[in-house]
Structure formats: structure tokens, C-alpha cells
Amino acid sequence: MTVLLGLYALSYMLCSLLLAYLTYEPLKRYVHKWNEMKPIPGMPGAYPIIGNALQFKANAGDFFNQVIEGTNEFRHLPLAKVWLGPVPVVVLFHAETIEGVLSSSRHLDKSFSYSFLEPWLGTGLLTSTGDKWRSRRKMLTPTFHFSILLDFLEVMNEQAEVLVSKLQRHVGGPAFNCFSLITLCALDIICETAMGEKIYAQNNSESEYVRSVYKMSDIVSRRQRAPWLWPDWVYNLLGEGKEHQHCLRILHTFTKNVIKERAEHMTGVESDSEPDQGGRKRHAFLDMLLKTTDEDGNYLSHEDIQEEVDTFMFEGHDTTAASMNWALHLIGSHPEVQKKVHQELDEVFGSSDRHVTAEDLKKLRYLECVIKETLRIFPSVPLFARSICEDCHINGFKIPKGVNAVIIPYALHRDPRYFPEPEEFRPERFLPENSLGRHPYAFIPFSAGPRNCIGQRFAMMEEKVILASVLRRFKVLACQDREDLRLQGDLILRPESGIWIQLQRRSI
């Protein structure tokens, strides 16, 4: 018995020593950061280890309102501090402090919260770091050249036609929620342009793949807000973790099969694409990725390609869909702006119902201002984060290496120094003469600096085509006041109850 007790005591002591050894360095780093960041003003009530986690609202809308109220409270300060569990965060919402992070080639890594996207996206362009990110960005940049993007105009026009036919049914009728209609259109566009695969989301919104794309963003954002769900071994035991795995299987199986099929059909230079009705070859990003090589002449593996295709799918539909929905709400709320948009569209298209061309895109200058002002008021990505990769100073405050910097475009875009009366919808702010002298980091709907959004030209093109196609045919009346929208700032900025509008048919 004595020997047995002795063995138990020895085992306990060894386990305690092992635990102490394993936790010593992380604990030492944590205490160091806690002490280093004491001078930074921030959210009160942080406790060791759990930080401010218990103070955060669980509901997405309540959480986002809490974030915005915090930035309003600390607006007079250059930055604020929050502890998300044991993870230190500095919150930035002024152009001058944001520039120091985004313009730097040293702080290119995304924050730890992006790791929850890796089961879906792997380490593609959005989530990769270091040399892999630099190499991948260099390889992919040519595929987003404007001349290549023009090949996607027909896809955008065709899907716009489907959307218009759906909207026709609501002309003269009661108010309806247009949010899902616009989102399904954007999903059809990104699927065909990214993968060369038609999924007919606008006509089959209940497909497994469509529902899984919708679900994944919500699942990831809920996990990001809940530190107790961060450990994989905990998460995978819970119902939400199992739902996450189910969606992953559907999403990855679909893209794997598409990549395999496209690769098998690439037997020659011209056989990597399908002809459209006019006999031209229609390319997709996937086709270009299958032909892309690195500096050593090596082709991307199918796993590499899947990372980027999944990333395009994630980043390329929700963001543009949200922006177009917000634009319809704002245009429908401001008759004087809608009148100017209609005048420009009539000047460019007359009474024709032809497709939007590349030349038309250049002429839609006021519509572009409307889109930019929409992105100012309702940025599709209301907050994003970087990791501070080496000790630095921001406005006199020392920020230790490893701290997460959360950048909040929603608050930044409301800085009255650069946008007087910031809650007012004024597209004229973005006319060239009114943009002169504005701080280059005062408006960053697509991020900024070396790690800005590679797809911003694609997004602007798509939004112009869809909004022009809708507004050439309809007059929009918004049926919600701003205070009724109840914003939800998950990964994408959405209204809690959708966007409700009424439509009238236009005649010119």
C-alpha cells in the first residue's frame, strides 16, 4: 500500500512538473504582455486569463453594437485595448494609426481568429503567411488583370438577367426581402467565374452546396466570438462542431470533384474551357490556376488550387452581395440620388436592354460613387485583424509582438475629419475633385497596403453590372429606416431582418 501511494505521489509530481514546464513559457509571455500593455486605455473589467470575454454579448447584433459603442467611447483616443480571453487585442479606427499597421511589410500576418477558417480554406491567399503568401500573391495577381476580368462580363450579365426576371414578379406588389435574391445571384456569378461550374443557385436555393456556403460563415463567426469553443477537442465534441464537419465535407467534396473534372479535360491548350453559345472559349479562375506555375516552373497541386478556389468562393460572393443590398437600400431611401443614377443610366444605355459592356463600365462614374459611398457607410467587412509581428509603437504606446490589431472600417469611415456629417449618404464625396487630399487610409473597404483585396476590381465590376441591370428597369423604394436595420457584424455586415424594398417598373 505504501509503495502504491508512493507511486501515485511520484506520478502526481511528475505530471505537475510536466504541466508547469509546458505552461511556463506561454504564461511568461502572457504576463509580459499584460504588464507591457497596462498603459493602453481600454475596456475595463478585464480579469487575468479570461480577460473581457464574459462581457461580450453572445448575439451577433448585440456584439457588433457593443463594438461600435466602444469605438465611439474611445474615439478621442488613438487606440483602445481589449482582452479576448488570454489574447490581447488593440483596436484601431483612425487613419493615422491604421496606416502604421497596414502599410508595413512587417505586419502582414492575419490574426489568430483567421485560423478558424483554415479547415475550410486551408492556407490560401486569405489565411497564409510569410513566404507562402508572398509567392501565392505573386502567382495569382496576373489572373486578376482587368483584361482577364472582362472575360467574366458575360457571366455577370447573364446572371443579372436571371435576377431581373426574379424581381419582375414583385413589381407593383407589397414590400419583399431582396437580400437572398441578390446573394444567390452573386453566388451563381462567383461559382461560374471561379470554377466554371453552373450551380443555378437562383433557381435552386435549397441545394446542399448553397446551404453549406451560407452556413459556414455563420458557424465560423460564432466560434470566433466564444473563447471556450476555440480548442478543437472541445469544439469537435459539440453539436456545432459536428455541423461544421458536415458542411466541410459537402464544400470540399464539391470543389474537389470540380477541380478533378476540369483537370482531366485539360488535354491541350484550348481544351481547358467550355465554349459558350457564340463558340468562344469561356475561362474560369480554376482554369488559370491549373496552368499557373511558380518561379521554379512548378504547377500548383490540386490541394493548392482547392485552397484558392474555396477562398474565392468564400470572399467573392458574400461581400459583393452585401454591398449590392446595402446600395439598393440607400438608393431607395434617397430619391434625389436615385434620380441621378437613372439619368446616368439613360445617357449610357438609352432605351435599349443590351448587356453592359466594358465601355459602359467606364462611363458609370456616378454609380461608382454610389457604390463607394455605400461601402463607406456599410463596409462589407466591418472589421478585420492582423498580428503584430514585432514590437512596435503606435502613437507613443508600445505594442508587443504577438498582439492582435483589430481594424474597424465601420468606425474609421465615420471620421468627421474626412467625411463631414458621416451618417449622411452623399455619393458626391467620391467625385475626384472632392477626394483630393483625403488621407489614403481613411477609406479602406478592401483593406489597404500590400495585403489589400486582390479581387476589388472584380467586385466593383460585378456591382456595377448588377446594379445597372436592376436600376435600368426598376425604381426602388426602401421600406426600412436606418434604425430598423439592426446591423450584424459577423464576418460580413448584414441587416438582421434583410433588406425590404418595393419595386416600380421604369419607362424611358
508 residues of the chain, pLDDT tens digit each = 554 444 444 454 445 444 444 455 777 888 888 888 889 888 888 888 888 888 888 777 888 888 888 888 888 889 999 988 888 899 999 999 999 999 998 898 988 889 999 999 999 999 998 888 998 898 888 888 877 888 899 999 999 999 999 999 999 999 999 999 999 999 999 999 999 989 999 998 888 888 898 788 889 988 887 888 889 999 999 999 999 999 999 999 999 999 998 888 774 444 444 554 444 556 789 998 988 877 777 788 999 999 999 999 888 888 999 999 999 999 999 999 999 999 999 999 999 999 999 999 999 999 999 999 999 999 999 999 999 999 899 988 999 998 999 999 999 999 999 999 999 999 999 999 999 999 999 999 999 999 999 999 999 999 999 999 999 999 999 999 988 898 988 789 999 999 999 999 997 6
pLDDT (0 to 100) of residue 418: 97
Beta strand residue intervals within 362-459, DSSP E: 384-387, 392-394, 397-399, 404-407
453 known member of a binding site: yes
pLDDT (0 to 100) of residue 226: 83
**Nearest by Cα to 244 from 289, 270, 212:** 212
**Nearest by Cα to 472 from 318, 342, 310:** 342
Count of H helices and E strands in the chain?
A: 19, 13
pLDDT (0 to 100) of residue 24: 53
CA 256 to chain centre: 23
Q: How many CB atoms lie within 10 A of CB 43?
A: 19
pLDDT (0 to 100) of residue 321: 95
Q: Are the CB atoms for 286 and 196 separated by under 8 Å?
A: yes
Residue 262 CA to residue 429 CA, distance in Å, equals: 45
Q: Are the CB atoms for 236 and 245 separated by under 8 Å?
A: yes
CA angle (279 as vertex; 273, 281 as ends), nearest 5: 25
Residue 457 CA to residue 463 CA, distance in Å, equals: 10
Helix (H) or strand (E) holding 478: strand 474-478
Residue 206 CA to residue 212 CA, distance in Å, equals: 10
Amino acid at position 384, single letter: F
Listed by start position, the domains of the chain span 1-36, 37-50+76-505
**Residue recorded with cell 505537475:** 16
Q: For residue 453, what is its C-alpha cell?
A: 483585396
Residue 284 CA to residue 273 CA, distance in Å, equals: 8
37-50+76-505 — its CATH code?
A: 1.10.630.10
pLDDT (0 to 100) of residue 43: 85
What global pTM score does this model have? 0.89
Amino acid at position 404, single letter: N
pLDDT (0 to 100) of residue 315: 86
**Residue recorded with cell 498603459:** 39
Residue 503 CA to residue 508 CA, distance in Å, equals: 16
SS3 158: helix
**Nearest by Cα to 227 from 438, 86, 102, 353:** 86
